[in-house]
Homo-oligomer: A and B are copies of this chain.
Amino acid sequence: MTAVQTNTAGSPFGSVNAPRRSVLADEIYEILKSKLMDNVVEPGARLSIDGLSRDLKVSATPIREALARLESDGLVTKRAHHGYTAAPLIDARTFAELFRMRLLLEPACASWAAEIATPRQITAMEDLIAEMKTPLAGDGYESYKAFASQDAAFHGALAAATGVGLMVETLERLRPHAQLYRLYYTVGIADDTVREHERVLEAVTRRDQAGAAHAMSAHLSASRGRLAGALGQPETD
């Protein structure tokens, strides 16, 4: 945890001359959420309120609020009088549940998107796929993280193309990519993923709902198979 005080104005969070559009607690929330999603804070790591207060040079109050929100988000766990801990790394059971839910939700998501996605949304998804084809710069860990981020962006854009806010929220809540991205490090980046995304988007583009659902189902099953090895378990089906 490094100090955030980078501004000569004395405020940790930007110019004192600009009107505040958010409050400190919101900003702390975003900073901590980012660190948790990016695994800058390791899964299972202790999060000390006093420590964060010192590091971020703010009082405990906004820290507590931010952590309370993150608890409800499922990103941290809290034990009374003991403090907060970053949610643990995904285990085999959660992995299985996660893919089971994804295999229920995301083919339907693709099908719905095939029904009503706008040309603009489709173009945006094409751009995301093109971006995924660009060789990634940087060393191993960072490139896997970037890949996972692109992967997540494609799935997120597809959900948004359904126009069903509750689908977007439901998938966001599962946080598949934040939970799975570390597994990419073991199994490597898969060109297959990009091709599978392309097949999903082709079906969406030609308004083939069943095709989109099938392509997404195949993508998820393959993804599960690729990642399962990283968990030290063989694929079960």
Contacts and interface: CB of A to CB of B under 8 A. Distances in A.
Nearest to A80: B23
A128 interface: no
A-side interface mostly: helix
A237 to B, nearest CB: 13
A97 interface: yes
Nearest to A26: B80
B64 A23 contact: no
A66 B65 CA distance: 8
A120 B73 CA distance: 32
B97 A166 contact: yes
A23 to B, nearest CB: 5
Contacts of A20: 80
Interface of A: 20-23, 25-26, 61, 64-66, 68-73, 80-81, 94, 97-98, 100-101, 104-105, 108, 164-167, 169-170, 173-174
